A and B are shown apart, each in its own frame.
Chain A
Amino acid sequence: MASHLRILIVDANQVRAAIIEEGLREAGYDQLIRMTATTGLVAAIETHDPDVVVIDLEDPSRDALADMFLVSRHIRRPITMFVDQSDSASIEAAVEAGVSAYIVDGLKKERMQPILQTCISRFNAFRKLREELDEARSQLEDRKTIDRAKAIVMRLKGLSEDEAYALMRRTAMNEKRKLIDIARSLITAAEMLK
């Protein structure tokens, strides 16, 4: 039964960790432990005794986890990185998504595969969310830049807001440049000529 597996989620990013936890919970896993601090991972594993550890690829304690069982006799159960050699697409998907999973005590790959897939899709969903947020942020920034440039044109050429905007758009089209680039050039020029 899937729900009997104890899964430790190691991620310094609390929002993403929450998204992964939610994903795994929806998939029927209910013994989930979340951990943000990367120091003390060994101790956490000893305490929580998980079956599976899911860890952010950008976490420096991955190296400690990777070979722990090979060199540390104080770890009770062996831990290995989960890699399904017969499935190179899923190896790539995991690395590209930025997640890796470790299994304790030779858990069967059939039981592990759905966990990894859930994590990959949640990592990707999180990245998309962040990209959208960045995009929205930069659109907002662009909007502000264009408004500033428009104000400069209005002031210097005595135009209305609509006329100033139309002039900038026309210039951008004629020069095959983006409106935002024209706006930036205008602001730079205005600063220089101040």
Chain B
Amino acid sequence: MTTLHLRVGFMPLVDCALVVLAKDEGFAEAEGLNLELIREISWSNLRDKLNVRLFDAAHMLGPAAIAATLGIGGVKAPMAAPLALNRDGAAITLSLRRFEELSRLAEGDPADTAISAHALAALVARRKAAGLPPLTFAAVFGFSMHIYLLGEWLEKAGLKLGEDIRFEVVPPPQTVEALASGRIDGFCAGAPWNSAAVAAGVGAMVHASVDLRRNCHDKVLAWRADDVQKRPAAVAKLGAAILNASAWACRPENFARMAQHLSAPDRLALPAPLIERILLGELIQGADRPPRPIDRFIRFDREALRPEPDDADWVLAGMARAGQIVATSQMHDIARGVFLPAYFDGIFVANQDALKK
């Protein structure tokens, strides 16, 4: 079998796991692929390098793939996703000080997202009355589940991101520093960056993404849309490797090894135990609270990897709420077309026997 060399870009997040495992556990090699993984510094770079074919495929925010395909934000780079890479796995973390203020203002159990949102609204109102500057929240990219989840949370108390609360984009690895320096008051990001902020003693997790929405669409494996047509063998092989990695990643006995792979200096460069706790669903929360067990905090199972066109509708609704677009039916058609469930099903059927083992 001839070896096919593929360059795949990724951002340092737990949800890049299946791409990392495809290489490190030999699933790609078994498909005749020589996978070269390149850690990137920004989502913009992933998009642009995929667009000019410096990368064959990329670990990508689903909403960013849709935005690039629609050409929102100036760059039109049509993409297609034959597989998702995860669902869920994000969280909202506040600085210790803001978390304390929010807890004090909560009328009831702040674990309830409506109660915490109203406490946040009370905090916003108090600051305004006292003439203090508005709070600043960050998410990891302008087009991401993280910004849309923040929007949903705030909406529960009638707050608007970008108006009642300032908004900034901070790439995942910079979130901890931004929170520590006081530049931002809170952020929504994927694992392990919430745990990293808690472990660093600068933040307290207020909600996991699953508190707001279960089975939430997040990262996909993005290809250039035309390459999906032109290179079906490469798409199928990498897809098969990812599906095999998914089956492996769902076995708890593999979590320690998986954490080890992810912790490597050229991957996440963070301690393996920090990552393993996330895989086990034991989220450290900070502010003197015990770790919180969360069932299926981040999903890598096969059902989670099927790209669903309905997710595109949720993304467009989030874009509209954030004031990024005025959605048209044509936009819906294009956005839904980014996700390719038929490709996923084809790859799954072709590998069914291997996956059952």
CA distance A74 to B323 in the complex (A): 14
* Residues of A contacting B72 in the complex (Cβ-Cβ under 8 angstroms): 70
**Contacts A39-B183, A85-B76 known; A71 to B45 CB distance under 8 Å?**
no
Q: How would residues 89 to 107 of chain A score, 1 for a CB under 8 Å from any chain B CB and 0 otherwise?
A: 0011001100010000000
CA distance A82 to B74 in the complex (A): 7
Known contacts A58-B45, A72-B166, A85-B76; 18 additional CB pairs below 8 A are A42-B168, A59-B42, A62-B41, A62-B44, A63-B43, A63-B44, A63-B142, A63-B171, A64-B168, A64-B169, A64-B170, A66-B142, A70-B142, A72-B162, A73-B162, A73-B163, A95-B54, A100-B48
With both chains docked as a complex, state the minimum distance between the C-beta of B162 and any C-beta of chain A, in angstroms: 5
Interface residues of B in 146-186 (CB under 8 A from A): 147, 161-163, 166-171, 173-174, 181, 183
CA distance A45 to B162 in the complex (A): 18
Chain A residue nearest to B47 in the complex (CB): A66
* Residues of A contacting B45 in the complex (Cβ-Cβ under 8 angstroms): 57-58, 62
Interface residues of A in 48-66 (CB under 8 A from B): 57-60, 62-64, 66
Interface residues of A in 74-92 (CB under 8 A from B): 74, 80-83, 85, 91-92
Q: Determine whether A134 belongs to the interface, using a CB cutoff of 8 Å to chain B.
A: no
With both chains docked as a complex, state the minimum distance between the C-beta of A84 and any C-beta of chain B, in angstroms: 10
Q: Determine whether A67 belongs to the interface, using a CB cutoff of 8 Å to chain B.
A: yes
CA distance A39 to B168 in the complex (A): 12
**Contacts A60-B173, A60-B174 known; A72 to B167 CB distance under 8 Å?**
yes
23 contacts between A and B (CB under 8 A): A58-B41, A58-B45, A59-B42, A60-B41, A60-B42, A60-B171, A60-B174, A63-B141, A64-B168, A66-B142, A67-B142, A70-B322, A70-B324, A71-B322, A71-B324, A72-B162, A74-B166, A80-B73, A81-B73, A82-B74, A83-B75, A95-B49, A100-B44
CA distance A81 to B324 in the complex (A): 15
CA distance A73 to B51 in the complex (A): 29
Are A71 and B41 touching (Cβ within 8 A)?
no
Q: Determine whether B248 belongs to the interface, using a CB cutoff of 8 Å to chain A.
A: no
Are B54 and A72 touching (Cβ within 8 A)?
no
**Contacts A60-B41, A60-B174 known; A70 to B73 CB distance under 8 Å?**
yes
